[in-house]
Structure 1
Amino acid sequence: MSSLRPLFPLLTTAGVLLAGNGLQGTLITLRGSAEGFSATVIGLAGAGYYLGFIIGCWMTPWLLRTSGHIRAFAAMTAIAACASLAMVMVIDPFFWFLMRLVTGVCFVSLFANVESWINAQVTNSTRARTLAIYRFVDLAAVTASQYLLPVFGVGGFEIFAVMTMLIILSIVPVSLADRSNPAPPAPFSFNPKRLWMVSPLACAGVVTVGLTTASFRSVGPLYAEGLGLGVADIASFMSAGIIGGIVLQYPLGYLSDIISRRSVLLMATAGSTLTGLAMVWFAGSSVALNLIGIFLWGAFTLPLYSLSAAHANDKAEAGEYVQIASGLMFFWAIGASIGPLLSAVLVDWLGASAFFAFICAMHGAFVVYTIVRIIRGEPDDPDRGQFAGLLRTSPIFARMAAQSVDRPGKRADDQADEAQPKAEENDPSSRQDKTENSG
C-alpha cells in the first residue's frame, strides 16, 4: 500500500472530477425536462457532449505537450466549470448544446491528463492494483453523485453550484500534493480502415455500446421520469445500472479467456436484449422491478466494450495496441454522439417505452451480426491475451490496461513504454528538466 500512497492525490482528483461529471449528465436531463425542453432537445445536448469527446481525444496530446499537465489541467478545469455554471444562467437549447460540447472537450482532456499522470507514476508490479482502485473510485464517485440530486433538487441554482464546486475542487489535490510533471502521452493516431480489417465485430460492438450506453446516461433519466419516478428513485435507477455493469464485468471476461470471445459477446448481447425487452414489458410496474431490470441490463451491457476490445486485440499485430485502443474509442464516440439524439426523438414520438425498444433494436441487430461472424469468421486466436476491464474515460486508460495484463508475447508498444523511463533516467538533460518542472 505504501507504494500507492503517492497516487492518493491523483486518485482523489479523479474521484471528485468523476463525481462532477456523473452528476452533470443526469442533472442536465432532469433540469431540461423541468424547463420544458423536448426529449429531442435533451438528446441533442447529450450528443453534444460526445461530439466534444471526439474533439478532445485529438486535442489532448497537443495540449499536454505545449502546456504541461498542471497548466493544462487548470485550464480545462476552469473552462469546464464556467461552461457548467453558464447552463443555469442561460436556459436555451442551442446554448446548452454548445456548453455540453465544451464540457465534453474538457472532461476527456482532464481524464486523459489524470490517467497519463497515473500511468507515469506506477510500475508494472502496481499497475493492475492501481487500475482496480481507479475503477472503484469511478464507480463510487458516479454512484454517490446521483444522490446529490434529491438532496438539492434539480429546479434551483444550488445543484449547479455544487456541480461546479466539484469540478473546481478537483484541481486542489494535484496542485498542493503532487509536484511531478510527467512527459505528455504520444498522439492517439489510428487508422479506421485497418481497425475494421482487424475486427469488424469489435468495431460494430463498440458502436452499438456507444449508441445504447450513451443513451442511458443522457436519456435514461428522462425515461425514468416518464415512468413517474421521483428524483430519489431516478438517482437509484441510474446508480443501479452503473453498479450492475461491474457485477458481470470480470466473470464474463474470465469466461472469454477460456472459450470463444465471440460466443461470450453473443451471450452478453443476448442477455442485454432480453433484459431490455423485459424493461419494455414491465415499464409500468413497481419501482423495485425497474431497479432490478436496469441492474441486470447494466450487468450484461457495460462489459460489451471491454469484450469487444479484447477480441480486437487478440487479432492485432505486435505494436498495434495503442492504435486499436484509440480507434475503438473513436468508433464508440461516434455511436455515443448519435444514440442520445435517436433515442430522444423516439421518446418524443412514441413515449418513454420507446427508449428500451430502441436499445433492444440496437442490441438485437448486433446479436444477428455476431451470429453471422461466428458462422463465417475464423476461429479465435489460441494465443489470445487476458481480458482487461476498461473505462471509457480516455484512450490512456486502455493503454494502462494493456500494460497491466500478462500477454504471451510482449508487444512493441509495451517495450517502448518500459524503455522510455530508462532512457530518461540515463539522460542528464531529462533529469534536469524534471527537477526544474517539479520546483
Structure 2
Amino acid sequence: MHSLRPLFPLLITAGVLLAGNGLQGTLVTLRGSAEGFSATVIGLSGAGYYFGFIVGCWVTPWLLRTAGHIRAFAALAAIAACASLAMVIIIDPFFWFLMRLVTGICFASMFANVESWINAQVNNSNRARTLAIYRFVDLGAVTLSQYMLPVFGIGGFEIFAVMTMLIILSIVPVALADRSNPAPPAPFSFNPKRLFAVSPLACAGAVTVGLTTASFRSVGPLYAEGLGLNVSDIASFMSAGIIGGIVLQYPLGYLSDIISRRSVLLMATAGSTLTGLAMVWFAGSNLALNLAGIFLWGAFTMPLYSLSAAHANDKAEAGEYVQIASGLMFFWAIGASIGPLLSAILVDWFGAIAFFTYVCAMHGAFVLYTIVRIVRGAPDEPDRGRFAALLRTSPVFARMATQSANIEQSDQDASQNGDRAQDKPEKSG
C-alpha cells in the first residue's frame, strides 16, 4: 500500500471526475425530457458527447506535449465545467449538442491525462493492484453519483451546480500533487485495415458494445422514465446496470483463458440478448423485475469489450498491442456516437419498449456473426495472453491493462520454465 500512496491524489481526481461524468450522462437525459426535448434530440446530444470523445482521443497527445499534464487538465476541467453550467442557462437542443460535444472532448482528454500520469507512476510490481483500484473507483464513483439526482432533483439549477462543482474539484488533487510531468501518451493512431485483418470479430464486438452500452448511458434513463419510474428508481436502475457490469467480468475472463474466447463471447452475447428479450416481454413497469433484468444485462454485456480486446490481442503480433488497444477504442467510439441517436429515434417512434428491442437486435446480430466466425474461422491461438478487464475511459487505460496482463503472463511463463528446468535430471560427468 505504501507504494501506491503517491497515486492517491490521482485516484481521488479520477473518482471525482468519473462521478461528475456519470452524473452528467443521466442528468442531461432526464432534464432534456423534462424540458420537452424529444427522444431523438436527447439521443443526438448523447451522440455529440461520444463524437467529442473521438476528437478528444486525437488531440490529447498534442495538448499534453504543449501544455503539460497539470495545466492541460486545469484548462480542460474549466472548459468542461463552463460547458456543463451553460446547459442550464441556455436550454436549446442545438446548444446542448454543442456543449455535449465540448464536454466529450474535455472528458476524453482529462481521462487520458490522468491515466497516462498513473501509468508513469506505477511499475510491474504494483500495476495490477493499481488497475484493480482504478476499476473500483470507477464503479463506486459512477454508481454513487446517480443518487445525487433524487437528492437534488432534476428540475432546478442546483443539480447542474453540483455537477459543475465536481468537475472543478477534480483539479484540486492534481494541483496539490507532486510537480512531476510525465511523458504524454502515444498518439491515437491505428490501421483499421490491419486491425480488421487481425480480428474481424473483435472489431464487430467493439462496435456492438459501443452501439448498446452508450445507448444505455444516454437513452436508458428515457426507457426507465417511459415505464413510469420516478427519479430515485431511475437512479437505482442505472446503478444496477453499472454494478452488474463487474459481476461476470472476471469469471467470463477466466473462462476465456481456458476455453475458446469466441465461445465465451458467444455465451455472453447470447446471455445479454436473452436478458434483453426477457425485459421486453416480462418486466413491464415492475421495478424489481427491471432492476434484476438490467443487473443481469449489465453482467453479460459489459465484459464483451474486454473479451473482444483479449481475442484481438491473441492474434496480434508482438509490436501491435498498443495499436490494437487504440483501434478498438476508436471502433467502440464510432458505435457509441451512432447508438444513442439510433436508439432514441426508435424510442421516439415506438415508445420505451423499443429500447431493449433495439439492444436485442444489435446483440442478436453479433451472436449470428460470432457463430459464422466460429464455423468459418481458424481455431483460437493455442498460446494466448491473459484476459484483462478494460474501462472505456481512454486508450491509455486499455494499454495499461494489456501491459499488465502481458507482464503477468510473462512472469507465469518464466516460473513454469524455471520449474521445468529444475525438474530436468542433471547430466553425469
TM-score normalised by L of structure 1: 0.92
Letter in 1 for 2:206: V
Residue ranges of structure 1 left out of the alignment (5+ in a row): 411-439
Question: Does the C-alpha gap of structure 1 residues 257 and 36 become closer, same or farther in structure 2, counting only changes over 3 Å?
Answer: same
Cα shift at 1:180: 1.4
Match of 2:367 in 1: 367
Paired residues of 1:124 and 1:403 also in contact (CA < 8 A): no
Paired residues of 1:385 and 1:408 also in contact (CA < 8 A): no
CA deviation string 1:140-184 (max 9, x = no partner): 000000000000000000000000000000000110123211111
Matched, 1:49 2:49: yes
Residues in 2 aligned to 1:85 and 1:154: alpha-carbon distance in whole angstroms: 14
Match of 1:245 in 2: 245
Letter in 2 for 1:157: F
Cα shift at 1:190: 0.4
Mapping of residues 149-228 of structure 1, within 5 Å: 149-228=149-228
- The secondary structure found in structure 1 opposite 2:235 is helix
Mapping of residues 24-103 of structure 1, within 5 Å: 24-103=24-103
Letter in 1 for 2:384: R
Matched, 1:402 2:415: no
Paired residues of 1:45 and 1:100 also in contact (CA < 8 A): yes
Paired residues of 2:201 and 2:370 also in contact (CA < 8 A): yes
Residues in 2 aligned to 1:136 and 1:346: alpha-carbon distance in whole angstroms: 34
Question: Does the C-alpha gap of structure 1 residues 34 and 239 become closer, same or farther in structure 2, counting only changes over 3 Å?
Answer: same
Paired residues of 2:386 and 2:408 also in contact (CA < 8 A): no
Paired residues of 2:229 and 2:285 also in contact (CA < 8 A): no
Paired residues of 1:188 and 1:322 also in contact (CA < 8 A): no
Question: Does the C-alpha gap of structure 1 residues 283 and 353 become closer, same or farther in structure 2, counting only changes over 3 Å?
Answer: farther
Matched, 1:136 2:139: no
- The secondary structure found in structure 2 opposite 1:291 is helix
Paired residues of 1:312 and 1:324 also in contact (CA < 8 A): yes
Question: Does the C-alpha gap of structure 1 residues 129 and 407 become closer, same or farther in structure 2, counting only changes over 3 Å?
Answer: closer
Aligned pairs, number: 410
**Structure 1 ranges of 4+ moved more than 6 A:** none
Question: Does the C-alpha gap of structure 1 residues 408 and 30 become closer, same or farther in structure 2, counting only changes over 3 Å?
Answer: closer
Cα shift at 1:88: 0.3
Paired residues of 2:14 and 2:114 also in contact (CA < 8 A): yes
Cα shift at 1:381: 0.6
- The secondary structure found in structure 1 opposite 2:155 is coil
Letter in 2 for 1:347: V
- The secondary structure found in structure 2 opposite 1:124 is coil
Mapping of residues 280-359 of structure 1, within 5 Å: 280-359=280-359
Residues in 1 aligned to 2:345 and 2:250: alpha-carbon distance in whole angstroms: 34
Cα shift at 1:256: 0.1
Cα shift at 1:82: 0.4
Alignment RMSD, CA only? 0.9
Residues in 2 aligned to 1:299 and 1:393: alpha-carbon distance in whole angstroms: 19
Question: Does the C-alpha gap of structure 1 residues 406 and 186 become closer, same or farther in structure 2, counting only changes over 3 Å?
Answer: closer
Cα shift at 1:374: 0.1
- The secondary structure found in structure 2 opposite 1:322 is helix
Cα shift at 1:285: 4.0
Residue ranges of structure 2 left out of the alignment (5+ in a row): 411-429
Matched, 1:124 2:145: no
Match of 2:259 in 1: 259
CA deviation string 1:262-289 (max 9, x = no partner): 0000000000000000110124241011
- The secondary structure found in structure 1 opposite 2:319 is coil
Paired residues of 1:385 and 1:407 also in contact (CA < 8 A): no
CA deviation string 1:326-353 (max 9, x = no partner): 0000000000000000000000000000
TM-score normalised by L of structure 2: 0.95
Residues in 2 aligned to 1:154 and 1:355: alpha-carbon distance in whole angstroms: 22
Letter in 2 for 1:248: L
- The secondary structure found in structure 2 opposite 1:125 is coil
Residues in 2 aligned to 1:185 and 1:372: alpha-carbon distance in whole angstroms: 37
Cα shift at 1:390: 0.1
Paired residues of 1:227 and 1:283 also in contact (CA < 8 A): no
- The secondary structure found in structure 2 opposite 1:309 is helix
Residues in 2 aligned to 1:252 and 1:307: alpha-carbon distance in whole angstroms: 8
Residues in 1 aligned to 2:379 and 2:181: alpha-carbon distance in whole angstroms: 45
CA deviation string 1:89-135 (max 9, x = no partner): 00000000000000000000000000000000001100000000000
Question: Does the C-alpha gap of structure 1 residues 276 and 409 become closer, same or farther in structure 2, counting only changes over 3 Å?
Answer: closer
Residues in 2 aligned to 1:261 and 1:284: alpha-carbon distance in whole angstroms: 34
- The secondary structure found in structure 1 opposite 2:318 is coil
Residues in 1 aligned to 2:104 and 2:167: alpha-carbon distance in whole angstroms: 13
Paired residues of 2:64 and 2:113 also in contact (CA < 8 A): yes
Residues in 1 aligned to 2:37 and 2:79: alpha-carbon distance in whole angstroms: 25
Residues in 2 aligned to 1:69 and 1:335: alpha-carbon distance in whole angstroms: 29
Cα shift at 1:403: 1.8
Cα shift at 1:248: 0.1
Residues in 1 aligned to 2:16 and 2:408: alpha-carbon distance in whole angstroms: 37
Residues in 1 aligned to 2:187 and 2:366: alpha-carbon distance in whole angstroms: 31
- The secondary structure found in structure 2 opposite 1:405 is helix
Letter in 2 for 1:354: A
Residues in 1 aligned to 2:401 and 2:293: alpha-carbon distance in whole angstroms: 30
Paired residues of 1:383 and 1:408 also in contact (CA < 8 A): no
Residues in 1 aligned to 2:136 and 2:409: alpha-carbon distance in whole angstroms: 29
Letter in 1 for 2:378: E
